[in-house]
A and B are shown apart, each in its own frame.
Chain A
Amino acid sequence: MRFSDQFRTGWRNLSRQKLRTTLTIFAIVIGAVSVTVMLSLVTSAKSFLVSSAQKTGMDKRVIVTGSTGLDYRESTWNWPDGSGKRIDKDTLEAVTKLPHVASATLYSQVQMIRSFVLESTNQELEFKNLSFEAYTPNGTIKHLLVAGEELSEKTNGTGILVTTGVANDLGFKGRESELVGQKLVLKFRTDMGPPDARKADETAVITGVVMGENGDGLSVDLEWAVRMNTMEWTQKGPNGQTETMKESQIDRYGYSSVWVSLDDKKNADALMAEVAKLGYGAAAGQEEIDTQATVFTIIGAVLGGIGGIALLVAAIGVINTMVMATLERTREIGIMRAIGATKRTVRRLFRVEAGVLGFMGGLFGVAISFGVAIGLNQLLNKQLEDSGITDRDIVSISPVIALVVLLITTLIGMLAGSLPARRAANMDPVEALRYE
């Protein structure tokens, strides 16, 4: 019997029991939608992560620290406390000379900030659980811009970047662009130096609103940050005269790290080896991306597994349907055998029929999944817009996933149909013909 005839016969047999066929297909559709949507969500999230990382240059980034053995995340938060190797301008010079370095900057945190006030609203926010990063805006460090511009040479001494979280706290959620150009007054701590140490307020102008890569906070030019990190106090000199003392935290402990942008991300290991020779620690942004991607892969496997269970249940439905069909069609099977159908033909006929169930379930499932993706994107686009992210339609169902799901549901159908098919094929034709 030709495959086209088997397919036609199978299709016809399925149409004879419309309700049962529809319900069986429906179960497969549920499984197919679960698998397709869940896998697509994870792969979409993964590719969003990777593309975002590429935009900020994280994939080409290496962070050089005074302490060895830190991972990327620890390196971003590394705080110089005198225990590791000192990071200073000499370090930057040495690192910049290394091969594969496209650009580099010293990086530090401004430690002395206490709070900041948005001048227009007079709203004051405590500086808690926030980062205040400082770097030379030479293109090494880039952000996902929501509004305004990155820091540049001309904004040195005035410009500041705020993250969307800060913008949110300041009441500018969804209106981030309105923050650009507004003044932010920075207030400093007085508890870090001698009792009368003081630090005058600084006024900054918001240059841009960005997505926080390492949590929320503020960013300024490094040169300005060094000035901000300098405390002033007075003390009596040996002759009783009053002396004004100045001390920069950075002068004392050095910078946090050197951030490097590679010429190519594949050279991360080579550069890290060179850095290690200099006695510094190094961590690559790509490692962090890989770690996060692995997390998504695991989540994908778990969610896909849940969808897989739905498919398994659907497969049991197929078995049930096909067993019913073999019982109902016992006499038909007998007739087919009498007019020359081999056991193999009968087996294949039922298997093809079960495969058609699986294929139809997969086809509808994939089609519905595309609809679900459109719906999810509409929801997410609103969220993305609110968060100031320019990306849209991030949930996409790849043709590969669609095809694989279609193939899997068809195979599951055929596999589930195997047992009933064998049962049908092994019926004694004489007995089958007598079946009432």
Chain B
Amino acid sequence: MAFVQCSGLRKTYTVGDEEVRALDNVSITVEKGDFIAICGPSGSGKSTLANVIGGLDQPDEGSVLVDGVDLAKARDKELSEYRNSRIGFVFQSFNLQAHETALENVISPLVIGGVGKKKERRERGMKALERVGLSDRAGHKPTQLSGGQRQRVAIARALVNDPQMIIADEPTGNLDSSRGADVIAELRRLNSEGITLIIITHDPNVAAQAKRVVEIKDGKITERTGAR
């Protein structure tokens, strides 16, 4: 059975007087260990799809089955646990807490999940930072780090709970091409270690590295291409 199985997803937003169909009868499956790029122009609904798969948003219609549990009908507690322990988010604008150090940011999912004691959290946080090559920046605040380093801290945060899947929404959007490439390389490496990866991007170079590319436009999946 697929790791994530979405079928018939519909989601409508009201912006002013206008109704925007962010998802219009979208069905998609994600296998364990997959690397999917979801591409499409701005406002096409790709972020909404990522948020729905990530349990950050719920569809108006349709189902999102993860190991037999329908996220579309799940309660806040289940969704939160899912976000906390089974997946990791990486955002375009990093979304690190500015007042916390890199290590504190990385261990925040452990704190929120009530996982482990101080020492264990620290060890796991340092291990995650090591995986992204930033263990020497553990005590730095985000403002003391470069854009690429910040994104790697965000990846470390996504990793700290040993997730099954990472959802990265335009992870290279705020980075120059060389740092962007580093970040993608990092994510690919994690994928090769078995973590399912969904990247939202409108960068064809990034999409080209995915095993599968899903094109989305006006809330509808228009095209799927196979493995690279």
Contact = CB atoms under 8 A, between A and B. Distances in A.
Interface of A: 1-2, 5, 9, 12, 16, 331-332, 334-345, 429-430, 433
Contacts of B228: none
B57 A345 contact: no
A340 B84 contact: yes
Interface in B84-120: 84-85, 89, 91, 95-97, 99, 108-109, 111-114
Given A1-B111, A331-B95, A430-B51, A338 B81 contact: no
A338 B92 CA distance: 14
Contact of B97 (A2, A332, A433): A332
Contacts of A331: 95
Contacts of A340: 80-81, 83-85, 109, 112-113
B92 to A, nearest CB: 10
A327 to B, nearest CB: 16
Contact of B109 (A16, A339, A430): A339
B76 A335 contact: no
Most buried by A among B80, B81, B97: B80
Given A1-B111, A5-B114, A430-B57, A334 B80 contact: no
Question: Which range holds the interface residue count of chain B?
Answer: 20 to 34
A338 B112 contact: no
28 contacts: A1-B111, A1-B112, A12-B99, A16-B99, A332-B97, A335-B96, A335-B97, A336-B108, A336-B112, A337-B56, A337-B80, A338-B89, A339-B83, A339-B89, A339-B157, A340-B80, A340-B85, A340-B109, A340-B113, A341-B84, A342-B76, A342-B77, A343-B76, A343-B80, A344-B77, A345-B80, A430-B57, A433-B91
Contact of A433 (B80, B95, B111): B95
Contact of B114 (A1, A9, A339, A343): A1
Contacts of B80: 337, 340-343, 345
A429 B95 CA distance: 12
Given A339-B84, A342-B76, A334 B112 contact: no
A338 B50 CA distance: 12
Nearest to B79: A342
A429 B157 CA distance: 18
B111 A429 contact: no
Nearest to A332: B97
A337 B84 CA distance: 9
Interface of B: 51, 54, 56-57, 76-77, 80-81, 83-85, 89, 91, 95-97, 99, 108-109, 111-114, 157
B23 to A, nearest CB: 13
Contacts of B108: 336, 339
Contact of B95 (A1, A334, A344): A334
A1 B91 CA distance: 23
B171 to A, nearest CB: 14
A242 to B, nearest CB: 110
A146 B5 CA distance: 92
A117 to B, nearest CB: 83
Q: Secondary structure at chain B's binding surface: helix, strand, loop or mixed?
A: helix
A336 B113 CA distance: 11
Nearest to A341: B112
Most buried by A among B57, B96, B108: B108
Contacts of A339: 83-84, 89, 108-109, 112, 157
A29 B108 CA distance: 33
Contacts of A345: 80, 112
A417 to B, nearest CB: 19
Nearest to A425: B76
A339 B87 CA distance: 9
A112 to B, nearest CB: 87
B162 to A, nearest CB: 13
B112 A430 contact: no
Contacts of A429: 56-57
Given A5-B111, A335-B97, A340-B81, 13 more contacts: A1-B113, A335-B96, A337-B56, A337-B80, A338-B56, A338-B89, A339-B157, A340-B109, A340-B112, A345-B80, A429-B57, A433-B91, A433-B95
A338 B109 CA distance: 9
Contacts of A343: 76, 80
Contacts of A430: 51, 56-57
Contacts of B91: 338, 433
Nearest to B75: A342
A12 B99 CA distance: 10
Q: Which 8 A-B pairs have the closest CB atoms?
A: A340-B84, A342-B80, A339-B109, A340-B83, A335-B95, A341-B112, A338-B89, A2-B114
A433 B81 CA distance: 19
Contacts of B95: 331, 334-335, 338, 433
Nearest to B104: A12
Nearest to B114: A2
A97 to B, nearest CB: 77
A429 B80 CA distance: 11
A433 B89 CA distance: 12
Nearest to B109: A339
Most buried by A among B76, B89, B111, B113: B111
A179 B143 CA distance: 82
A345 B81 CA distance: 12
Contacts of B56: 337-338, 429-430
A18 to B, nearest CB: 13
Nearest to B84: A340
Contacts of B113: 1, 340
Contacts of B97: 332, 335
B151 to A, nearest CB: 14
B58 to A, nearest CB: 10
A216 to B, nearest CB: 69
B51 to A, nearest CB: 6
B44 to A, nearest CB: 16
Contacts of B76: 342-344
